[in-house]
Amino acid sequence: MAEYDQDQTIGGTTGSVRVDFEPIGRRGTCSCRQTLLQCAHDLGIGIVATCGGHGTCGRCRIIAVRGQLSETTSVEHELISLHELENGVRLACQAMPLSDCIINVPAESLTASQRIQIEGLQATHGTDPLVTSHKVAVSPADLNDLSADDQRILTALSATYGIKCTTVDLEVARDLPHILRSEDWKCKITTRGAEVVAVGPWPAPTLGLAVDLGTTKIAAYLLDLTNGETLGARGTMNPQIRYGEDVVARLTHALSQPDGTKELADEALAAINDLADSLTRDAGVNSSRILEVVLVGNTAMHHLLLRLPVAQLARAPYVPAIAGSLDIKARDLPLRTAKGAYLHLPPNIAGFVGADHVAMLIACGVSTASDRVLAIDIGTNTEVCLAADGRLTTVSCASGPAFEGGHIRDGMRAAPGAIEHVEILGNEVHLQIVDDAEPTGVCGSGILDALAQLATQGIVDAMGRLSADHPRIARHQNMLQFNLVTPDERGGRSALSVTQNDVRQLQLAKAAIASGIQALLQHASLDPSQLNSIIVGGAFGSYIDIKSAIEIGMLPRVPLERFTQVGNAAGVGAKMALVSDSARLNGITLAREARYLELATAPGFMKRFVDNTRLAPFTLQGG
């Protein structure tokens, strides 16, 4: 074991506080005498500082979410509006942390963008959209034809295309007279079932927006509804993260603050509208061209966005207010779309298995006809579905934020500088770092690799105890840690390590997932070897090394060729539901057929969970 004891206090002064930089998820101890810009720099976080921290460029804006900062300076009063100051906006080069705090670093203040998983498997699907557009010409109104404008277009739709619409959206009706007359009685009519949802000049694109509203990240896709082509994809961090990293923290905020639900809904809504604006701008159109939106998310994200009651979701037996699919006017949220556009929300399965999992099943073609297929969507909450013997059974596993870098001392999300893969060869450590940048922290796939490598090399035992007998083992504040990057290798900065506490957090996360899989297999009386296919999705699930996950017993030891990593399958499922009515109906059927297995009340669950904390191969009996 190395004899040095590193000083984790940045700046090495007395009066240190804990600073949590979000949404990047990098935390560290900072001196109260340092500016947040220096503190971020020491932690390896790149904040834009065009003037070099001299207080002239105003580019280093951050938002104080929680905690106390030093008084605002005259520079800040000069460069930041009063309204922004009142909303917590500060300059990182001016503000110093006086207590533990959470600092939000907006995307525009980061020198490098965070990696957002927006791509998923290439699903093959046809298009049979519910929303379609038609070119219609009607005869002008005159004294011989006193038909109302709505009757004029409804009759034309029926006569020309055989489309039987019966109603026109009220907002569309308000625009209808002007459009008909200004377009010389020729226009584009967009219908959805029996309703006219848009009227506009011909030609114009018929666009739709698919959204995957994740607890950590939001992915959005702009599609041409006429041919199903994806015109653009963008992702962003879920800004709700400032209120807590996982679903439980968000629900707690909603329930404990008078305007908690509204705050969370507004945050998500603003981010989705920003994505819609960016995507349509990239496509050279306005967001008012979006004629349909499909949004998937877990049940808590769904309820918070719609401002549905969540008290019953936060307490046993964790019942959703609404499980069925919803079709509501997008303007009611409000989403920035065409005035008459609808928002379709596919069904939820249970309190902790939401429409995002349904979307994953749609995308992966999992159904009651699937033959012994396990679909796993890994995130802060991990959903697992087993398709076997004509049945779909789902569980929800509280895997927590460890795989997103949360509760891990040097953890961070997958941004430039994150260690994403680790190989330990004797005393040597080989690292793969996102964007080949200087290492700043460890993201989920890196921490999983590190744990698997430590276990196979015997540096950590089955109970998760780090052995002191390795040159890269150091002791800090009475706790052992394995240094992935030593202070020497970082030019004197603090080491980047896997600590004994980190190992414990990972044991809990992997035990949650393994226990969920075991419960499903036992419920179906299946041995892991009988599984024909294991699909692993989710942002983290896309990047993990399956061998590492098997090594620590998180996933069953079956031949590697039976595993498929599918990326953001929920986003793909949302796209399919957007352009295909039959995919949408398939989602409704899947949610109705899926049975939910509540793990907390399953016999022997706690024992199984504890057994699974062992770093040992997956067995049906637990680690």
Binding site for ligand FES (CB under 6 A): 49-51, 53, 55-60, 91, 93
Alpha-carbon span 75 to 204, nearest angstrom = 48
Tokens for 542?
A: 């896309």
Residue type, 147: S
49 vs 172 by CB, closer to ligand FES: 49
Q: Give min distance, CB of 62 to ligand FES, in A.
A: 10
Alpha-carbon span 513 to 530, nearest angstrom = 19
Q: Give min distance, CB of 49 to ligand FES, in A.
A: 4
84 vs 150 by CB, closer to ligand FES: 84
Tokens for 545?
A: 């090394």
58 vs 309 by CB, closer to ligand FES: 58
Residue nearest to ligand FES (CB): 93
82 vs 369 by CB, closer to ligand FES: 82
What radius of gyration, in Å, describes the C-alpha atoms of the chain? 27
Q: Give min distance, CB of 22 to ligand FES, in A.
A: 19
Tokens for 315?
A: 């307490």
Q: What angle do CA 327, 333, 335 make, to 5 degrees?
A: 90
Tokens for 140?
A: 């002008």
Helix (H) or strand (E) holding 62: strand 61-66
Angle (deg, nearest 10), helices 149-161 and 170-182: 80
Q: Give min distance, CB of 437 to ligand FES, in A.
A: 20
Tokens for 484?
A: 């992935």
Q: Give min distance, CB of 492 to ligand FES, in A.
A: 24
Residue type, 554: M
C-beta of residue 252 within 8 angstroms of C-beta of residue 313: no
50 vs 530 by CB, closer to ligand FES: 50
Please name every residue paired with 211 in a beta bridge, in sequence order, or none if there are none: 220, 295
**How far apart are the two ends of the chain, measured CA to CA in Å?**
29
Q: Give min distance, CB of 56 to ligand FES, in A.
A: 6
Q: Give min distance, CB of 38 to ligand FES, in A.
A: 11
50 vs 111 by CB, closer to ligand FES: 50
Helices (H), 405-537: 444-456, 500-523
104 vs 325 by CB, closer to ligand FES: 104
Q: Give min distance, CB of 531 to ligand FES, in A.
A: 54
Half-sphere exposure of 129 (CA within 13 A, CB side): 28
95 vs 376 by CB, closer to ligand FES: 95
CA proximity to 200, closest of 330, 332, 289, 293: 289
